[in-house]
Structure 1
């Protein structure tokens, strides 16, 4: 299924945008927001990326095409200390604006699902570094 955009019936043709493209745009827009630690992906996606495979930019994004319009669900991890309501609003704004700018399509809903919190990594000291 593809999204079709017709602004003027007298144009040269139609533009079709696949839902996967909307997913990639939304995933990249969400990942660029400050305090987003990452996007939720499946075990298979994570292993593929770690083994040097292609990065799935639409991971953690679900696109639903409804009669009312595009509904996007985003599943992400946040940095510890982030203000969740403010961060969620920033993600929603970023996704709506980016999709509108790149495709001209309006998004009906952007639902944010916080699935985890990432804490700062503690520095570890190896036994070789200790002076005994």
Structure 2
């Protein structure tokens, strides 16, 4: 997680005042943009975000970690992808969408967008295919 400092936006025009964006806002924007990319199944969360989701609360910054250092802002995205997608293509689209949304919404440039594919989620199997309900357990017909 990033430091507890805010990031200045549009430093060239200080005639009307100063605009600051909290690090949590950058994480939320990145998380929403990443989850909207086709091929992304879900974002990796922690126990706390999993418990929150059980109670109906959505954690939009789940799977997003922001770090700020001398080089600039870096975002790490931890996600699960759908089975059958091209991992490099989805990762590249993730990087582009996150950068694009942050520039569009906050005018903040990111130094890096690092994508970490945590796992691949296979296609769901129909429950009826798993258990053939037409057959009797003993193999006898009535």
Report the equivalent of 2:59: 56
SS of alignment partner, residue 37 of structure 2? coil
1:107 to 91, 105, 110: 110
Alignment root-mean-square deviation, CA: 1.7
Report the equivalent of 2:139: none
SS of alignment partner, residue 8 of structure 1? coil
Give 1:101 shift: 0.3
Report the equivalent of 1:39: 43
Give 1:43 shift: 1.7
SS of alignment partner, residue 107 of structure 1? coil
The structure whose Rg is larger is 2
* 2:52/2:59 contact within 8 Å kept: no
Give 1:129 shift: 4.6
Report the equivalent of 1:123: 126
Is there any run of 5+ residues in structure 2 with no aligned partner, and where?
A: 137-142
Give 1:8 shift: 1.6
1:75 maps onto 2:74 in alignment: no
Alpha-carbon displacement from aligned partner over 1:12-68 (angstroms, at most 9, x marks no partner): 11001001000000000000100000000002211220232x211000000011222
Report the equivalent of 1:7: 12
Could you list the runs of 4 or more consecutive aligned residues of structure 1 that deviate by over 6 angstroms after TM superposition? none
Is there any run of 5+ residues in structure 1 with no aligned partner, and where?
A: none
Give 1:111 shift: 0.3
**Count of residue pairs the alignment pairs up:** 130
1:87 to 87, 90, 94: 90
